[in-house]
Amino acid sequence: MLKVGDKAPDFQVTDDSGAAVSLRDYRDKNLILYFYPKANTPG
């Protein structure tokens, strides 16, 4: 589990237009990652 201040591992996802986006695309830039629970689940 990541802790505050840890570096996030590189990963790749698809954006809403279908283009691939990688965490490394934002290297040397400030970036905030936000994770949230799946809709309609407790938590």
Q: Does the residue 21 lie in any domain?
A: yes
pLDDT tens, residue by residue, 10-21:
999 999 999 999
Q: Does the residue 18 lie in any domain?
A: yes
Number of domains within the chain: 1
Q: What is residue 41's predicted lDDT score, i.e. its pLDDT?
A: 77
Dihedral over Cα of 31, 27, 2, 42: its sign: positive
Q: Range of 29's domain?
A: 10-36
Q: Does the residue 29 lie in any domain?
A: yes
Q: pTM of the prediction?
A: 0.52
Query: How confident is the prediction along the chain (43 residues), in pLDDT tens digits per residue?
Result: 778 888 888 999 999 999 999 999 998 999 887 777 777 777 6
Q: Does the residue 42 lie in any domain?
A: no
Angle at 41 between CA 37 and CA 20, to 5 degrees: 40
Q: What is residue 5's predicted lDDT score, i.e. its pLDDT?
A: 87
